[in-house]
Amino acid sequence: AQSVSQHNHHVILSEAASLELGCNYSYGGTVNLFWYVQYPGQHLQLLLKYFSGDPLVKGIKGFEAEFIKSKFSFNLRKPSVQWSDTAEYFCAFSSGGYNKLIFGAGTRLAVHP
């Protein structure tokens, strides 16, 4: 079955710490990969996406992610987090011709000043 595994359910960091959130997907074919973020009280917003080409993609607010096909992974990174990065982060993928997204369970990030 198609699925997404996000390894960390809760992450607590201090400001300026580096962040890496793990994401592995289960699907043997070509995928499109996404990270969405949900700030407290707000709607899901796209952080970054990978369709093809350079496996290192950059998104908004200094986030980046690397697609490693051999590991079925799409980990999210940020070198220095800020208090405003406190949010829930969802990894997702789609396959085939339509954008039906399969989401992971999410990772709650809390950044302390």
Partner 1 sequence: DAGVTQSPTHLIKTRGQQVTLRCSPKSGHDTVSWYQQALGQGPQFIFQYYEEEERQRGNFPDRFSGHQFPNYSSELNVNALLLGDSALYLCASSGDRGRIPSGANVLTFGAGSRLTVL
List interacting residues with partner 1 (CB under 8 A).
4, 32, 34, 36, 42-46, 49, 51-52, 90, 92, 94, 97-106
Q: List all residues 6 or more positions away from 57 whose beta carbon is below 8 Å from its beta carbon.
A: 48, 49, 50, 64, 65, 66, 67
Which tokens hold the place of 83? 């208090």
Of 86 and 95, which CB lies nearer to partner 1 in the complex structure?
95
Q: How far is the CB of 107 from partner 1 (least distance, A)?
A: 10
**Burial class of 50 by CB neighbour count within 10 A (0 to 12, 13 to 18, 19+):** buried
Name the 3-class secondary structure at 4: strand
Name the 3-class secondary structure at 62: helix
Of 61 and 80, which CB lies nearer to partner 1 in the complex structure?
61
Q: How far is the CB of 33 from partner 1 (least distance, A)?
A: 12
Of 97 and 113, which CB lies nearer to partner 1 in the complex structure?
97
Q: How far is the CB of 104 from partner 1 (least distance, A)?
A: 5
